[in-house]
Amino acid sequence: MPGRWATLKPNRSSTSLKGITVIEAPIDRDPCPACESNQLQPVKMYNNYLLLKCSECSFIYTEKRLIPADDYEDAYDAAGMYAFMVRAAQKTATGEWGVKKLWWFKRLALRWIRTIEATSLMDIGCGPGTFMLIAQRLGLTVEGIEPTRAAAETARSLDLRVHCGYVEEYVANGGDRTFDIVTCFEVLEHVPDPVGTLTCTHDLVDANGHLILSVPNVDDPYMLEQPFPQSIPPIHINFFSRKSMAAVLHKSGFVIERVFTLPIPTGTVSRVYGKTGLLIRLPYLVMLRLLGKADGSSLVVMARKNTTGSV
């Protein structure tokens, strides 16, 4: 496992310093997971994890690429998020909750889906199934993939067809059906091999179908300042920008059709500094946006398969 962080200049064999030859061992780092470049620069330590940035595609990620399955569930449990997600699915199943209770990026995805001729939808990382229930209500035939057993069981108890596991396992086990829409909300920031995950996802998208995904957006200037365990390493190990998301999708055989982000990172800033803190920072954030130096805290992307053959 590469873990030599002391020397920041890769691939230098020796330098001379006042007559003393200093041997610098080349850093044995894996190339960028998004574009395979070796031009990697340390960014910062974030919750004791080193973040690297690729100079070619600007992808930012943790050098350690482990999936902490237990940590992951603990972080969401501690934040009460899992209990809320289950309650949301149950209330949606009874009809008590509807579209308005979805996160804004899921409502946006529904608006995009309504412009497409689609009859089937696969939701990767479906959790207890809230989005599937809403999509089903719109007339779509829905399936889901969810690695967390408890969440998959909750979805099944609501009469949803959910495969427990990872998309890689689903495809390897013969899940060769394709779907008009494949959704993948807030998943790619967790996976050790985003290109591998998206390449498997590619197999599930119909030739004329679309992939709709959302990820936290590192073009939000506050994205790497958050104190919340569920938003930082080791729970999030990938930090995408518009540029690096385009690189990852291209490498996985997709072409971007639409990209959307809110103009101001209201969610991140108000979570860190409160509503008053957001108001104080608003003029600064607007200025950054006008200068093209800031985005909202989530990136929502619609993509289709690249049919030109150039990947």
Q: Which residues bind Zn ion (CB under 5 A)?
A: 32, 34-35, 37, 54, 56-57, 59
Q: 164 vs 301, which CB is nearer to Zn ion?
A: 301
Strand arrangement, sheet containing 238-239: 40-46, 49-54, 60-62, 238-239
Smallest distance, Å, CB 37 to Zn ion? 5
- Residue 255, classed as helix, strand or coil, is strand
Smallest distance, Å, CB 247 to Zn ion? 6
Amino acid at 112: W
Residue with tokens 């950054």: 288
Q: What is the largest CA-CA distance in the chain?
A: 77
Q: 26 vs 31, which CB is nearer to Zn ion?
A: 31
Smallest distance, Å, CB 56 to Zn ion? 5
Half-sphere exposure of 23 (CA within 13 A, CB side): 1
Separation between Cα atoms, residue 199 and residue 181, nearest integer Å: 15
Burial of 272 (0-12, 13-18, 19+ CB in 10 A): middle
Smallest distance, Å, CB 57 to Zn ion? 3
Q: 41 vs 208, which CB is nearer to Zn ion?
A: 41
Q: 81 vs 311, which CB is nearer to Zn ion?
A: 311
Q: 256 vs 288, which CB is nearer to Zn ion?
A: 256
Smallest distance, Å, CB 191 to Zn ion? 16
Separation between Cα atoms, residue 31 and residue 171, nearest integer Å: 26
Q: Contact, 211 vs 182, CB < 8 A?
A: yes
